[in-house]
Amino acid sequence: MAQSRTDHLSALHHTTFESTEFAEWSKTRLDRMIVDYMLRRGYRQAAQELAQSRGIEDLVDLQLFEDVARIEDSLCPPGFNGEVGEVEEGSKPSCTLALAWCSENKATLRKIRTPLEFNLRLQEFVELTRVRTPESIKEAITYARRHLLPLVTTTTKPTTSTSDKEAEYDRLAADAMRREVSRAMGLLACGPTSWAYADLYTPSRWTMLRDSFRACALQIHSLPPQPILHIALSAGLSSLKLPQCYLPTSTVDCPICGSGLGVLAKEVPWSHHQNSTLVCSYSGRVMDENDPPLVLSNGRVYAQSSVVELVEAGGGEGKRWVRCPRTGELCKVDDVRKVFIS
């Protein structure tokens, strides 16, 4: 798989933008983005079929998202919606798979300093106290002694390689966990009907755990939290977005000026251009010193070559008139002036 991805990236250095190989490479890149988007949105079967039809199974993370989805389903089963009283029979959430995953990736999780494993342990303790039977309370006490209380008594010792900022972060995180454990001990005396611990007993905590697990899983595999398609689309829209795109005089040839992508582009920043490039709205050619911009008497600007074409096409007798292709107005050729950009 790693070799296939390396070969895919290396192929870009042996093609030109005008070649058919680059067009095919770009199509493969787009398919990868679409598969990534569908996997993140839960359309795993459709994503797998697309990857197989395009032969890009080694270029996408099918197995990774399959494992992530399996653990997510254990935290928030399909019949569970995270609301109080909505836990159906056969769809009870569980931390077992997520804790096993944390055990397998313990070293990596420690590097990114995530409280995921602690939150999972705390949730298991909450579920034991929720039942309110003598046996479950006894199990909760045993569980707390084994997994939660050590966090209260253990002192964080910074290593020689730990910076002051990192050591301070670890200390604050440890203090926060100790306070959380101390507060959670009150669950042994108060049941789910107690308003004081409603935030710990609420089933919506499972949704929080699922989202936290996904964020950690993506981070340790160096994947962005949002779909790659969103990143590429945002970058492309931002590079084309200009204030002119939202004026009545916008051009139909610009994708941002349209009603489709223009709506999406409203959420991205403007493009930054230190040197502007003027493009003729009639011919689409770049206006420069060899083809300077000319302004008609109605204020419309076109390239010199375009004005010459318009005069030849409809200048009338004596070539004294030029018809504006945008407004249809007739303007005198003698009134045409050269534009100087300051």
Tens of pLDDT, residue by residue over 100-149, are 999 999 999 999 999 999 999 999 999 999 999 999 999 999 999 999 98
Query: What average pLDDT score do residues 235-251 get?
Result: 81
Predicted confidence at residue 89, as pLDDT, reads 53
When pLDDT is averaged across residues 294-320 and rounded to a whole number, the result is 85
- Name the band, by pLDDT with cuts 50, 70 and 90, for residue 86: very low
Rounded distance between C-alpha atoms, residue 340 and residue 206, angstroms: 64
More confident residue, 340 or 154: 340
Residue 84 reports pLDDT greater than 60? no
pLDDT tens per residue across span 317-336:
667 889 898 888 888 889 99
pLDDT for position 122:
96
Which pLDDT tens digit goes with each residue over 221-232? 999 999 999 999
Q: Which is higher by pLDDT, 34 or 175?
A: 34
Between 186 and 1, where is the model more confident? 186
Residue 55: half-sphere exposure toward Cβ, Cα within 13 Å: 5
Asked if 87 and 80 touch (Cβ cutoff 8 Å), the reply is yes
Q: Is 228 exposed, middle or buried (0-12, 13-18, 19+ CB in 10 A)?
A: middle
From 12-21, 55-64, 104-113, 156-165, the region with the lowest mean pLDDT: 156-165
Chain-wide mean pLDDT for the chain? 88
Q: Return d(Cα 50, Cα 31) in angstroms, integer.
A: 8
On the question of pLDDT at 190 being above 90, the answer is yes
Question: Is residue 85 pLDDT above 50, yes or no?
Answer: no
Q: Which residue has the higher pLDDT, 79 or 50?
A: 50
pLDDT for 123: 96
* Nearest in space to 178 (alpha carbons), one of 189, 168, 170: 170
| Percentage with pLDDT > 70 across the chain | 91
Lowest average pLDDT, out of 48-52, 64-68, 236-240, 259-263, goes to: 259-263
Q: Give the residue with greater pLDDT, 75 vs 19.
A: 75
∠ CA 282-284-290, nearest 5°, is 100
Return the residue matching tokens 């008594």. 153
Task: Provide the pLDDT for residue 249.
Answer: 67
Chain centre distance of CA 137: 43
With bands split at pLDDT 50, 70 and 90, how would you rate the model's confidence at 241?
confident
Other Cβ atoms closer than 10 A to 241: 22
Domains and CATH numbers, the chain: 90-220 (no CATH), 228-265 (no CATH), 278-338 (3.30.40.10)
Which residues lie below 8 Å from residue 298, measured CB to CB, with a gap of 6+?
324, 327, 329, 331
pLDDT at 19: 87
For residue 308, what are its two tokens?
């010459």
316 pLDDT above the threshold of 70: no
Which backbone phi and psi does 66 adopt, to 5 degrees?
A: -65, -45
- Residue 188, pLDDT > 70, answer yes
100, 75 in Cβ contact below 8 A? Answer: no
